[in-house]
């Protein structure tokens, strides 16, 4: 008895009401009506249950959490309190921490005035817990609840956020740390560092900003002229949205979070970029950083002065504190001429002005090719069974962003079969960079020259600089591939990756619409 929760049953009627489809026939017909074609594996399908069973060890420890999304006042420091939406009244939401192989059981309650879901970013979890509305679950209506339960198989730094609308650009995010029971522990203490761009409650509301972008307006025109202070600026257009503030762990730079340390200590920082529209250039004054993990997975350690971290990426770095003092940890909003700041304090001293720009910011910067997956997590050599090109486009009239020429719902799902090795070739035809994310899997980036790069779930794709990734399709279900700029995502920059099977679905599976609709409706539905 493995104690795997049975696949939940869903009401077809309620789903169709949500999706706005007129009849079941409509949904199924869109998958190809010959009846001979391979069928998408439903989110609640037998393959999904079997994959979870394989992950779950008998006697696995179950960790219970309760998560409440609700309107709240966030104290950003310096007397600034803003109205927003968050988890458990905290910003960021309280960290969830488990050990690899343990089961996360989170009772979620939605006290927001809008329907929402939770997505567990980066975790290879069972498909029906992935939080994509209309695809892996129904939205959680206001006052509704949902019980998330899944095995967390791989250690690492992850996070959680909603997968509906622009909820992520409010205060709805929290770290999810999966400890490694075999962690060599070559550090004295660790801190989680969450970066964010902030407008909710002080500047333009996220939904209004998106309306402006769709109407061809937008507050970011001046940024576009500037181009930023750095020659290799990632974000030469300055992003799409103007943010009055940038935060580290919910604090504005004038009232920064402080991390205590002692001279000579080795500190592990788990850096998470929870921003919707902002990549950050990160450096710790007076120190170099040794990068040990990318998106949760270990890399061959590499020491740098600074690094760029795009939306949804995570880097774990180790720093040896070089003296007694006050060291600003800077996160410069790339090409936005503004910053987030925290303080590493190992001695007495005043907090510096946030205008400080330590020289490390212009020192040795982490490059994609510097990152190589640690031996223990490297994909075995192999040739892809299937290669898909994903062309990134759009951003013009109407703020429509596309993958393979069409916005989500109109573009064709990528079909994969369980066990195949898949290669994705990203090609960016736009003038902006896009952090591309795959749900439910950790791919391996292919470095220039073909070498094994880092294992990641989100990778920066710059204009005119193709990026290829490979992974083994070992987690059946229906998964999203999308840009993690929340505004681009809402502009349509998403695609479905659909596991298919030749077997006949059971009647229970047929009765569950989740994972069966090919022309997914936008997750903004509801």
* Footprint on this chain of ligand C2O (rule: CB under 6 A): 119, 121, 161, 163, 312, 437, 439, 480, 482, 484
The CA-to-CA distance between both ends of the chain, in Å, stands at 38
Over the window 460 to 489, marking each residue x when it contacts Cu ion by CB under 5 A and - when it does not, the resulting string is: -----------------------x-x--x-
Considering CB distances under 5 to 8 angstroms, the limit depending on partner class, which of Cu ion, ligand C2O, none binds residue 163?
A: ligand C2O
Provide the token pair at 388.
């898909």
Contacting range for Cu ion; rule: CB under 5 A; set: 27-35, 230-238, 408-416, 432-440: 432-440
| Distant-in-sequence, close-in-space partners of 165: CB < 8 Å, separation ≥ 6 | 114, 207, 490, 523, 524
Contacting range for Cu ion; rule: CB under 5 A; set: 147-155, 357-365, 434-442, 468-476: 434-442
* CB of residue 261 to Cu ion, shortest distance in Å: 36
* CB of residue 523 to ligand C2O, shortest distance in Å: 9
Considering CB distances under 5 to 8 angstroms, the limit depending on partner class, which of ligand C2O, Cu ion, none binds residue 483?
A: Cu ion
* CB of residue 386 to ligand C2O, shortest distance in Å: 22
**Cα gap 488→395, rounded to integer Å:** 8
Rg from Cα positions in the chain: 22
User: Sheet containing 62-75: which strands, arranged edge to edge?
Assistant: 81-87, 62-75, 103-110, 145-151
Three-state DSSP class for residue 387: strand
Closest CA to 260 of 302, 321, 313: 321
* CB of residue 410 to ligand C2O, shortest distance in Å: 19
CB atoms within 10 A of CB 429: 13
Q: Report which residue's Cβ sits closest to ligand C2O.
A: 121
| Distant-in-sequence, close-in-space partners of 281: CB < 8 Å, separation ≥ 6 | 230, 306, 307, 308, 330, 331, 332, 334, 361, 365
* 434 binds Cu ion, rule: CB under 5 A: yes
* CB of residue 333 to ligand C2O, shortest distance in Å: 19
How many residues in the chain? 526
Provide the token pair at 417.
């079969």
Considering CB distances under 5 to 8 angstroms, the limit depending on partner class, which of Cu ion, ligand C2O, none binds residue 480?
A: ligand C2O
| Distant-in-sequence, close-in-space partners of 243: CB < 8 Å, separation ≥ 6 | 197, 198, 199, 203, 277, 278, 333, 336, 338
Considering CB distances under 5 to 8 angstroms, the limit depending on partner class, which of ligand C2O, Cu ion, none binds residue 482?
A: ligand C2O
* CB of residue 60 to ligand C2O, shortest distance in Å: 25
* 275 binds Cu ion, rule: CB under 5 A: no
**Cα gap 78→252, rounded to integer Å:** 8
Considering CB distances under 5 to 8 angstroms, the limit depending on partner class, which of Cu ion, ligand C2O, none binds residue 434?
A: Cu ion
Considering CB distances under 5 to 8 angstroms, the limit depending on partner class, which of ligand C2O, Cu ion, none binds residue 488?
A: Cu ion
* CB of residue 471 to Cu ion, shortest distance in Å: 21
DSSP state letter for 365: B
Residue placing its CB nearer to Cu ion in the complex, 236 or 288: 236
Q: Which residues of the chain form contacts with Cu ion (CB under 5 A)?
A: 434, 483, 485, 488
């Amino acid at each position: 008895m493995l104690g795997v929760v049975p696949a939940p049953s869903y009401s077809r009627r309620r789903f169709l009401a949500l999706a706005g489809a007129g009849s079941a026939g409509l949904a199924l017909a869109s998958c190809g009506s010959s009846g001979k074609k391979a069928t998408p594996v439903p989110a609640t399908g037998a393959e999904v249950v079997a994959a979870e069973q394989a992950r779950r060890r008998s006697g696995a420890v179950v960790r219970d959490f309760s998560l409440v999304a609700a309107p709240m006042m966030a104290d950003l420091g310096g007397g600034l309190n803003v109205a927003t939406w968050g988890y458990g009244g905290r910003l960021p939401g309280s960290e969830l921490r488990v050990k690899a192989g343990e089961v996360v059981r989170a009772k979620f309650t939605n006290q927001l005035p809008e329907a929402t879901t939770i997505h567990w970013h980066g975790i290879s979890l069972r498909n029906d817990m992935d939080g994509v509305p209309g695809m892996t679950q129904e939205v959680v209506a206001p006052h509704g609840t949902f019980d998330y339960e899944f095995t967390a198989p791989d250690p690492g730094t992850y996070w959680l956020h909603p997968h509906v609308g622009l909820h992520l650009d409010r205060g709805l995010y929290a770290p999810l740390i999966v400890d490694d029971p075999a962690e060599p522990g070559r550090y004295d203490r660790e801190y989680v560092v969450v970066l964010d761009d902030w407008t909710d409650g002080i500047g333009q509301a996220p939904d209004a900003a998106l309306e402006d972008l769709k109407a061809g307006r937008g507050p970011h025109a001046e940024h576009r002229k500037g181009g930023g202070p750095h020659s290799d600026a990632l974000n030469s257009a300055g992003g799409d949205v103007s943010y009055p503030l940038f935060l580290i762990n919910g604090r504005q730079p004038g009232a920064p979070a402080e991390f205590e340390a002692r001279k000579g200590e080795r500190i592990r920082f788990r850096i998470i970029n929870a921003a919707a529209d902002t990549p950050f250039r990160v450096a710790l004054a007076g120190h170099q950083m040794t990068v040990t993990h990318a998106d949760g997975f270990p890399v061959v350690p590499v020491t740098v002065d600074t690094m760029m971290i795009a939306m949804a990426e995570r880097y774990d770095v180790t720093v040896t504190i070089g003296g007694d003092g006050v060291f600003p940890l800077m996160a410069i909003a790339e090409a936005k001429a503004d910053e987030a700041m925290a303080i590493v304090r190992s001695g007495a001293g005043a907090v510096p002005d946030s205008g400080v720009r330590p020289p490390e910011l212009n020192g040795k910067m982490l490059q994609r090719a510097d990152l190589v997956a640690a031996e223990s997590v490297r994909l075995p050599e192999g040739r892809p069974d299937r290669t898909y090109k994903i062309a990134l486009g759009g951003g013009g009239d109407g703020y429509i962003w596309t993958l393979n020429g069409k916005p989500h719902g109109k573009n064709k799902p990528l079909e994969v079969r369980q066990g195949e090795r898949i290669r994705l070739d990203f090609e960016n035809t736009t003038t902006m960079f896009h952090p591309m994310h795959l749900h439910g899997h950790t791919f391996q980036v292919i470095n220039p020259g073909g070498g094994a790069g880092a294992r990641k779930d989100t990778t920066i794709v710059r204009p005119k600089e193709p990026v290829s990734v490979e992974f083994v399709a070992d987690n059946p279900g229906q998964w999203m591939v999308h840009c993690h700029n929340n505004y681009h995502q809402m502009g349509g920059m998403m695609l479905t990756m659909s596991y298919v099977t030749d077997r006949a679905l059971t009647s229970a599976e047929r009765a569950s619409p989740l994972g069966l609709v090919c022309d997914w409706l936008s997750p903004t539905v509801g």
